[in-house]
């Protein structure tokens, strides 16, 4: 029996470690400059924790925006917890790293995308990127009509998504 190196899983572990390190820095020092994150995650992941009304509204995946207002960011080995504001209703979330599908920082054109497992890919169409158009935006100020319009605009810079499939040997 020959042994092979599982580069795909090693890369995913490294990418999750990068997210963990970035979030720990933000927890310690706050978001620097114009940095902000679009994080798309699998809401049906067994370890994800979110309000019932959010999981009912987003049964497969949800994109949250970590930008102006967030509270209680706690980073652990397996995931992170955070409270975000959804239409003036603060809601706590726990997002395991292995539930994350995309992590994008559009301020510096950086993005990561985690490929779905083969059995999941046959049931679902993979997300192309973390689209701000469908993001739930956490905001410090109460949402107004103008703020709702702004959340539907696409950022001026597109994020680069890294896909491991282009490096896989078939």
Exposure b/e, 91-108, CB count within 10 A at least 16 = b? bebbbbbbbbbbbbbbbe
Q: Do 40 and 101 contact (CB within 8 A), yes or no?
A: yes
Q: Do 93 and 83 contact (CB within 8 A), yes or no?
A: yes
pLDDT given for residue 139 in this prediction: 36
Q: In CATH, what number is assigned to the domain containing residue 125?
A: 2.30.30.220
In a domain, 43, yes or no: yes
In a domain, 1, yes or no: no
Q: Find the domain containing 67 and state its range.
A: 7-167
In a domain, 111, yes or no: yes
In a domain, 2, yes or no: no
- The number of distinct structural domains making up the chain is 1
Which strands make up the sheet holding 90-96, listed edge to edge?
71-75, 79-85, 90-96
68 band by pLDDT with thresholds 50, 70 and 90: confident
pLDDT given for residue 14 in this prediction: 94
pLDDT per residue as tens digits for the range 107-159: 999 999 988 754 444 444 433 333 333 344 333 333 333 333 344 443 434 44
pTM > 0.95: no
Q: What is the mean pLDDT of the chain?
A: 76
């Amino acid at each position: 029996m020959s042994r092979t190196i599982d580069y795909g899983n090693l890369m995913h572990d490294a990418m999750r470690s990068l997210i963990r390190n970035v979030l720990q820095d933000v927890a310690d020092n706050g978001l620097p400059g114009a940095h902000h994150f679009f994080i798309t995650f699998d809401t049906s992941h067994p370890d994800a924790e979110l309000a019932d009304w959010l999981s009912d509204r987003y049964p497969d995946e949800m994109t949250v925006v970590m930008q102006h207002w967030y509270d209680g960011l706690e980073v652990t080995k397996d995931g992170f917890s955070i409270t975000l504001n959804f239409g003036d209703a603060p809601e706590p979330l726990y997002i395991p790293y292995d539930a994350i599908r995309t992590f994008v920082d559009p301020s510096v054109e950086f993005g990561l995308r985690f490929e779905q497992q083969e059995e999941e890919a046959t049931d679902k169409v993979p997300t192309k990127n973390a689209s701000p158009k469908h993001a739930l935006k956490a905001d410090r100020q109460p949402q107004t009509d103008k703020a709702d319009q702004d959340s539907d605009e696409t950022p001026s810079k597109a994020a680069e998504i890294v896909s491991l499939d282009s490096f896989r040997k078939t």
